[in-house]
């Protein structure tokens, strides 16, 4: 049946513009390749691929798209013999992925998926909470088209759950329909009463006290009565956990709103103050220093560097050093920011978990754009050339990617930067698992600035991808490589692209790139 869907005649497309024929044929060709890829994938991964095909084709051929989506739903409805907990978890995870597509395409199919997630056998223990979170995520994805259905799904998640992140749905729901949002907030409060769930309370605090939690912009118009009610739920939680209070809970959703206890329920505010004081006593002295000092005294680079020098624990030293560097960067003192980063010890860099390397090439790219805009070409070149050799390609590619769209001309320095970046990436000693993504960024830039070299750049990117360790990567439900193969590349050299994609060794990755290319290609088709 899956292959049969492909045999539908090309005439099923709207024949409104002869110029569409080429793009329709290319989309069909890419789809044929994807179907071949799908046959090599495990059943659940094939279901995700079919859902992605349905999503991409839904605007152009609804009947065909529904056929793919129906087969995907049937795949997760089938329970394998002797299904263990890991198999079931993967099947339910796949069900959640399909639901977001089905909700926008077909109500009956979406109901079948919801039935799987709410089935008593599939909703036990930790899995029950995961399924509730999946329903919240799915509901949030359709708020813009059907806020009523989204609120209904949210209510279902509360009955199943409790979900841990109702804020994901409440924020967009307040933007679309305040009445429904208030109702869902009240329902969430009711669930939070018995028993008290710290994750749910934390998520509710983000919405009800958005300003106090550091959010800005258009905030939800939450009624004052709801604010008071949530604080009372917090007090009930603190009273119930007196003997086993978790200080991370107190820090996350009690401390930020401590002043609101004083304002709205002053008679009970002492319970919150006591909890905060108790947690502060349990915290190490250096951690208190770190938490309290977003502190007004640590608002200069020198003060932060002194705090770093005085810190006895490495994690706090690294934190203060990073804050000093970031403060210098925010004031456009990029040289100082780089000096601080370069002065950090190996231990401090490692404690940043890979972020140090990213900042060391991303901040120079940001600085280069600033200098370029101001006409400070010498400083632009110096800061890019000062990036460690293994990361120079990343810095130059990021700089070029930030430049305003324009056509390259002969002698354009962008071409020189592009060639320098490609050469630096080839020379980089980083493993391909760290740098293949940069090859694809450069490919996009080559298409933009030097289209004649696009085929070569594509081969380089794919060669790096094949050398990288792709084990256990599930790319079909991620956007990591999205837009890396823009449709203009196919327009310039269709056969080179097809051959290049065919040479990708990982079926999952090959299918993801083909899906990205299919989306871009379908986007060229004009519809009525």
Q: Are 400 and 438 in contact (CB under 8 A)?
A: no
What are the φ/ψ torsions at residue 13 (nearest 5 degrees)? -75, 155
DSSP for 31-83, written as a single string = HHHHHHHHHTS-HHHHHHHHHHHHHHHTTT-HHHHHHHHHHHHHHHH---TT-
- Between the ranges 75-89, 134-148, 233-247, where is the mean pLDDT highest? 134-148
The torsion region of residue 353 among left (phi > 0), alpha (psi -120 to 50) and beta comes to: left
pLDDT at 287: 55
**Type and span of the H or E element at 420:** helix 413-427
pLDDT at 284: 58
pLDDT at 248: 77
Q: Are 483 and 520 in contact (CB under 8 A)?
A: yes
Question: Which two three-digit tokens encode residue 464?
Answer: 């790096």
For 54-58, 165-169, 353-357, which range has the lowest pLDDT when averaged over its residues?
Answer: 353-357
Cα distances (angstroms) measured from residue 114 to each of 154, 214, 269, 284? 12, 35, 42, 46
- Between the ranges 79-88, 101-110, 210-219, 312-321, where is the mean pLDDT highest? 101-110
pLDDT at 8: 44
State pLDDT tens for residues 271-321: 999 888 887 776 655 555 555 544 546 778 998 999 899 888 898 899 899
How many angstroms separate the CA atoms of 128 and 131, rounded? 5
What CA dihedral angle connects 316, 322, 328 and 331, to 10 degrees?
A: -100
CB atoms within 10 A of CB 128: 17
DSSP for 379-406, written as a single string = HHHHHHHTS-GGGHHHHHHHHHHHSPP-
Radius of gyration of the chain (CA): 27
How many angstroms separate the CA atoms of 105 and 112, rounded? 13
- Between the ranges 363-372, 447-456, 491-500, where is the mean pLDDT highest? 363-372
Q: What is the pTM of this model?
A: 0.79
Question: Which two three-digit tokens encode residue 461?
Answer: 């990117």
How many angstroms separate the CA atoms of 414 and 124, rounded? 57
Q: Which of 89, 103, 82, 93 lies closest to 48 in space, CA to CA?
A: 93
Percent of the chain residues past pLDDT 90, beyond the cut: 57
pLDDT at 2: 47
Where exactly are the structural domains of the chain?
1-40+431-528
pLDDT band, residue 170 (cuts 50/70/90): very high
pLDDT band, residue 81 (cuts 50/70/90): confident
pLDDT band, residue 437 (cuts 50/70/90): confident
SS3 state at 1? coil
CB atoms within 10 A of CB 281: 9
Q: Are 444 and 484 in contact (CB under 8 A)?
A: yes
Q: Which of 414, 366, 357 lies closest to 388 in space, CA to CA?
A: 357
Average pLDDT, rounded, for the chain: 86
For 7-16, 278-287, 363-372, 376-385, which range has the lowest pLDDT when averaged over its residues?
Answer: 7-16
Q: Which of 123, 122, 114, 118 lies closest to 73 in space, CA to CA?
A: 114
The stretch 377-394 carries a mean pLDDT of 94
Q: Are 106 and 55 in contact (CB under 8 A)?
A: no
Cα distances (angstroms) measured from residue 311 to each of 287, 330, 337? 10, 23, 20
Higher pLDDT: 470 or 390? It is 390
How many angstroms separate the CA atoms of 524 and 487, rounded? 8
pLDDT band, residue 9 (cuts 50/70/90): very low
Where do the H-state alpha helices sit in 119-268? 125-141, 147-160, 167-176, 178-193, 198-208, 224-240, 247-249, 258-264
Across 365-403, b (16+ Cβ under 10 Å) vs e yields: bbbbbbbbeeeeeebbeebbebbeebbbbbbbbbbbeeb
Which residues, in sequence order, are CB contacts of 29 under 8 Å at separation 6+? Answer: 498
What one-character DSSP code corresponds to residue 117? H
Q: Residue with structure tokens 């190996």?
A: 346
| Residue 6 pLDDT > 50 | no
Q: Are 196 and 240 in contact (CB under 8 A)?
A: yes
The stretch 203-218 carries a mean pLDDT of 90
State the helix-helix crossing angle for 314-330 and 355-373, rounded to 10 degrees. 10
Q: Are 149 and 138 in contact (CB under 8 A)?
A: no
| Residue 184 pLDDT > 90 | yes
| Residue 268 pLDDT > 60 | yes
State pLDDT tens for residues 504-517: 988 988 898 888 88
What one-character DSSP code corresponds to residue 368? H
Higher pLDDT: 368 or 19? It is 368
State pLDDT tens for residues 320-329: 999 999 999 9
| Residue 1 pLDDT > 70 | no
For 128-132, 332-336, 347-351, which range has the lowest pLDDT when averaged over its residues?
Answer: 128-132
How many angstroms separate the CA atoms of 181 and 466, rounded? 48
| Residue 496 pLDDT > 90 | no
The stretch 240-256 carries a mean pLDDT of 80
Q: How far is CA 103 from the centre of its chain?
A: 21
pLDDT at 473: 54
| Residue 475 pLDDT > 90 | no
């Amino acid at each position: 049946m899956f292959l049969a869907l492909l045999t539908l005649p090309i005439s099923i497309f709207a024949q409104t513009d002869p110029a569409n024929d080429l793009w329709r044929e290319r989309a069909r060709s890419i789809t044929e390749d994807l179907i071949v890829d799908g046959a090599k994938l495990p059943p659940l991964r094939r279901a995700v691929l079919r859902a992605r095909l349905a999503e991409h084709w839904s605007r152009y051929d609804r009947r065909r798209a529904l056929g793919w989506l129906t087969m995907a739903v049937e795949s997760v409805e089938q329970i394998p013999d002797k299904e263990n907990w890991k198999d079931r978890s993967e099947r339910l995870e796949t069900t959640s992925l399909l639901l977001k597509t089905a909700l926008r395409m077909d109500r009956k199919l979406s109901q079948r998926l919801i039935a799987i997630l709410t089935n008593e056998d599939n909703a036990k223990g930790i899995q029950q909470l995961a399924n509730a979170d999946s329903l919240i995520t799915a509901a949030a994805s359709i708020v813009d088209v059907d806020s009523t259905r989204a609120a209904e799904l949210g209510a279902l998640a509360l009955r199943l759950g409790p979900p841990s992140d109702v804020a994901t749905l409440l924020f967009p729901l307040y933007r679309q329909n305040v009445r429904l949002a208030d109702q869902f907030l009240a329902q969430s409060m009711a669930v939070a009463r018995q028993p008290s769930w710290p994750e749910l309370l934390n998520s509710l605090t983000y919405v009800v006290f958005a300003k106090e939690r550091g959010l800005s912009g258009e905030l939800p118009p939450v009624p004052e009565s709801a604010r008071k009610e949530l604080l009372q739920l917090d007090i009930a939680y603190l009273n119930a956990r007196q003997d086993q209070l978790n200080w991370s809970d107190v820090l996350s959703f009690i401390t930020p709103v401590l002043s609101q206890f004083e304002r709205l329920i002053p008679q009970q505010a002492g319970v919150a103050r006591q909890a905060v004081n108790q947690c502060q006593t349990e915290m190490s002295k250096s951690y208190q220093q770190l938490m309290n000092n977003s502190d007004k005294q640590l608002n200069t680079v020198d003060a932060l560097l002194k705090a770093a020098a005085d810190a006895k624990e490495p994690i706090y030293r690294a934190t203060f050093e990073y804050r000093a560097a970031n403060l210098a960067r925010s004031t456009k003192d990029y040289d100082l920011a780089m000096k601080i980063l370069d002065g950090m010890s190996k231990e401090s860099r490692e404690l940043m978990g890979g972020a140090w390397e990213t900042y060391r090439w991303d901040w120079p790219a940001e600085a280069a754009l600033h200098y370029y805009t101001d006409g400070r070409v010498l400083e632009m070149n110096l800061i890019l050339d000062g990036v460690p050799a293994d990361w120079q390609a990343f810095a130059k590619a990021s700089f070029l990617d930030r430049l305003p769209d324009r056509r390259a001309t002969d002698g354009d320095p962008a071409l020189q930067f592009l060639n320098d970046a490609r050469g630096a990436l080839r020379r980089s000693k980083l493993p391909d698992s760290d740098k293949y993504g940069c090859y694809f960024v450069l490919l996009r830039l080559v298409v933009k600035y030097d289209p004649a070299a696009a085929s070569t750049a594509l081969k380089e990117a794919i060669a790096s991808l094949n050398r990288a360790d792709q084990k256990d990567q599930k790319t079909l439900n991620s956007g990591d490589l999205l837009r890396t193969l823009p449709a203009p590349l196919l327009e310039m050299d269709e056969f080179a692209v097809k051959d290049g994609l065919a040479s990708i060794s990982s079926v999952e990755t090959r299918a993801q790139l083909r899906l990205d290319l299919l989306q871009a290609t379908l986007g060229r088709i004009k519809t009525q």
